A = this chain, B = another copy of it.
Amino acid sequence: MNSVIETIQGHRSIRSFKSTPISKDQLDTIIASGIAASSSSLLQVISIIRVTDPEKRKQLAKYAGNQAYVESAAEFLVFCIDYARHYTLNEAVKPEFMELTLIGAVDAGIMAQNCLLAAESMGLGGVYIGGLRNNPKEVDALLELPKHTAMLFGMCLGVPDQDPQLKPRLPADVIVHENSYQPLDIEQVKQYDQTMHEYYASRSSNTKQQGWSEQITEKLSQESRPYIKDYLNSKGLAEK
């Protein structure tokens, strides 16, 4: 196993950070790694808002559902779909298609993962913050995003002050299908539920008594941020 694969497979989300800052060199490397990512048709549709203002950090931590590490992490980056850039260059550009929002979301994931892995390879840690989508319009206003630009998620980065266990995942047999979609093997999910039950019961903090199926059913049988469609549409995105 080479060090790239070790870094990738050693990922744990880090939510507790030392007060040590990230050096300018390290941050430049993290950003350059993000920018080196594949970009659909070289459109380069992602902007990153680096939030250094402590007051804005405090607001964002609140908007994300009181996640204190948004305030305390050495760096906090917000990944945005940005077609304002292209529209500024030429108003003939039509950012309103769902296709372009999909490209933005996929490319943001690709770019952000490069950033996270670059950070992890330097001994830093981080976590994705989807919770910003709890209050998209408020986050958008705070970061002064123009029309045709929408925020997607944040990322905390810093020097880890915790060493959590690896979190078990569904087995590869469930994730990978050959040539055509295969129905879910419920027995494999039951085994995984048992694994997750043991994981949650034994982990060092935030223990719970729950398997995976229960957890995802609880989450997904509620409405999932039903205002996100309106938010995107209000930015002139995902309309058609």
Contact = CB atoms under 8 A, between A and B. Distances in A.
Contacts of A9: 32-33, 36
Contacts of A118: 4-5, 8
A229 to B, nearest CB: 4
A130 B7 CA distance: 27
Q: Copy number in this complex? A: 2
B240 A50 contact: no
Interface in A35-64: 35-44, 46-53, 56
B179 A52 contact: yes
Contacts of A103: 130
Interface in A196-222: 212-213, 215-217, 219-222
A29 interface: yes
A238 interface: yes
Contacts of A7: 4
Interface string A1-29: 11111011111010000000000000011
Interface string A130-165: 100100000000111110010011000000000000
A41 B130 contact: yes
A88 B184 contact: yes
B28 A172 contact: yes
A128 to B, nearest CB: 5
Contacts of A36: 8-11, 169
A206 to B, nearest CB: 13
Nearest to A97: B224
Contact of A184 (B46, B85, B117): B85
A61 to B, nearest CB: 15
A81 to B, nearest CB: 10
A117 B2 CA distance: 11
20 contacts: A4-B117, A4-B118, A8-B33, A11-B36, A28-B172, A31-B172, A31-B176, A35-B170, A41-B219, A43-B219, A44-B169, A50-B178, A52-B178, A85-B174, A92-B221, A93-B221, A94-B220, A99-B228, A110-B110, A143-B180
Those 10 A-B pairs whose CB atoms lie nearest each other, nearest first: A109-B109, A4-B121, A105-B105, A92-B221, A99-B225, A98-B229, A144-B180, A97-B224, A106-B109, A93-B220
